[in-house]
Amino acid sequence: MTLSVTVIKLGGSLMRSAELTLWLESITKLAQKTRVIIVPGGGEFADKVRETQQSLCFDNQTAHRLALLAMFQYGYLLTGLNPSIKIIENIDELLSTKDSQMPMLWLPDVLLNDFSEIPASWDYSSDSIALWLATKVNAEQLILIKTIDKLTSDYDLKSLINEGYIDQGFSSLLGNFSGEIKVFASEQYHLLNENQHSVEC
């Protein structure tokens, strides 16, 4: 039986939250039902890149590469917290690995020197990168885990983009993805395996 594929973007804003380890536990549990690919956010590491670019005025291509490397840092941090998560950089290996019941964490090595897929702009953050990857691997579902104060059933993707919870570039990539998109707030880790109370496209 071929497992479905779920891509999960785990927001860097959760880095110092009490919920982070609980999310990792829930994601590990979900991997028993579907092939799980985690895309790490950039968190404080990416924030530092923004700050440094403003003070030193280097170009967006340099900032883009540094922001991608910020995702690497957060990714290694996540696997340090939960060693059962396997780091994979090659996209083909994400679907071919035999150990499919353990969560995989993808690091965006392929994007470091190729700006044709994801433009070198702050409009395209790890949200857009997760959507791009979900499209590449034909995922049935993309889940974004965000720090959001009040996430209710009234929210939709357009609202979340307009309010800055999801990056602006996300809209331009939506048409390429045929799967389901859901958003969970940081405190909703217990709902991940219940598949409810999430924001749908």
| Residue pLDDT, tens place only, 73-132 | 999 999 999 999 999 999 988 888 766 688 999 999 999 988 899 999 999 999 999 999
Residue 115: the pLDDT is: 87
- Which pTM was predicted? 0.93
- Residue 198, classed as helix, strand or coil, is coil
The SS3 call for residue 5 is: strand
Instruction: Output b/e per residue, 46-59; b: 16+ Cβ within 10 A.
Output: beebeeebeeeeee
Question: Per-residue confidence of the chain (201 residues) as pLDDT tens digits?
Answer: 567 999 999 999 999 999 999 999 999 999 999 999 999 999 999 999 999 999 999 999 999 999 999 999 999 999 999 999 999 999 988 888 766 688 999 999 999 988 899 999 999 999 999 999 999 999 999 999 999 876 766 668 898 999 899 999 999 999 999 999 999 999 999 989 875 333 444
- Alpha-carbon span 59 to 56, nearest angstrom: 9
Beta-bridge mates of residue 145: 10, 184
- Does domain 5-200 bear CATH number 3.10.400.10? no
Check residue 149 and give its pLDDT.
74
User: What's the chain's average pLDDT?
Assistant: 91
* pLDDT on residue 197: 36
Nearest Cα residue to 179 out of 13, 25, 78, 37: 37
